[in-house]
Amino acid sequence: MSSRRKLLLFPVAGLVAALLWTTLGSFTVASGQTPKTVIARAHAGEFAPSYTQPIFILMLGGDARSGNSAQVRTDSIHIVAIVPGTLHVSILGIPRDSYVPIPGNGSNKINAAEYLGGPSLAIQTVENLTGCHFSYYTLTSFQGFTQVVDQFGGIDLRVTEHTPPDHFSHYNFIGGRQYHLTGTQALAFARDRHTRPAGDFDRSLAQGTLIAAALAQQQANMKKDPGTLLRAMGAMYRNIRVNIPITEALKLGLFVLKIKPANVTNEVMKGGLGSAGGASIVTVGAPARNQFVDICSDGQLGS
């Protein structure tokens, strides 16, 4: 199974899966089965990250084109930085149309990097752009997303946006209401860009909101019933693959569970609108570069 086929959509499920995985420990997908979520080292051969320095995770997802799962572009990109000293998490979304240099391929939309060179080129592209160095990356699929959220027990989320329904993503939420999202509903919330005022910028922000909500839900589930995760073990076995040692997974998971939802900062890269080769793009200027320095220097946005 190629890396391109593994990478299908939305990094939000990656963190939900990571929380489940690292709480349960590590097990592998059965032989011949296709993992719908992958969590692995960003750089093979590197040592486990130190818990005295910020830990950076690149959450990637892409959308298969024209029914061909080999033609995949990374449509969702988030930097997740965990600061051990303060138990703070920062999430920075990067719009998929950001026009950036792709090593060995000139300049293009950032979502072309995975299509041109797999996850490794996507990681290299984001690292060169931002200055971050990633310890881990996550990949997931439509099916993996909905299954993980459902097996997770759903996600409680108060919708603050006043956004019209969207028949493309099936987004249909009323602003100001509290929802307990199923996997299908969470996917609709994560996908909508057509009716949100700022399009992909708002969609990226919404995906970060889901990451924070998943963390809060995981902590609530653990306090209410620790056995919830054990009952999901069989289903998770079929859907997730972790390529890090069990001791490292457990340490990371137990650490993440200490983070309070109030200590999560969620932003989207600031960018302008432009065109290149007749296509609309997002330009990356000084405001975005300041955000990259902010998060990559100490792992905390707004510091």
Sorted by sequence, the CB contacts under 8 Å of residue 220 that are 6+ apart come out as: 156
Partners of residue 74 on adjacent β-strands: 62
Q: Give me the helices (H) in 260-303, please.
A: 286-298
- The three-point CA angle 18-253-6 to 5° equals 20
Domain boundaries, the chain: 3-152+200-298
pTM here is 0.81
CB 80 within 8 A of CB 207: no
Q: Where are the beta strands (DSSP E) in the chain?
A: 37-41, 55-65, 68-83, 88-94, 99-101, 107-109, 136-140, 155-158, 178-181, 240-243, 264-268, 272-276, 279-283
CATH of 3-152+200-298, one of 3.30.470.20, 3.40.50.2000, 3.30.420.590, 3.40.190.10: 3.30.420.590
Strands 240-243, 37-41: pairing kind: parallel
Rg (CA), the chain: 18
State pLDDT tens for residues 214-250: 878 877 776 777 665 555 555 555 556 667 776 777 6
pLDDT tens digits, one per residue of 71-130: 567 778 999 999 998 999 999 999 999 999 999 999 999 999 988 998 899 999 999 999
Q: Is the pLDDT of residue 30 over 50?
A: no
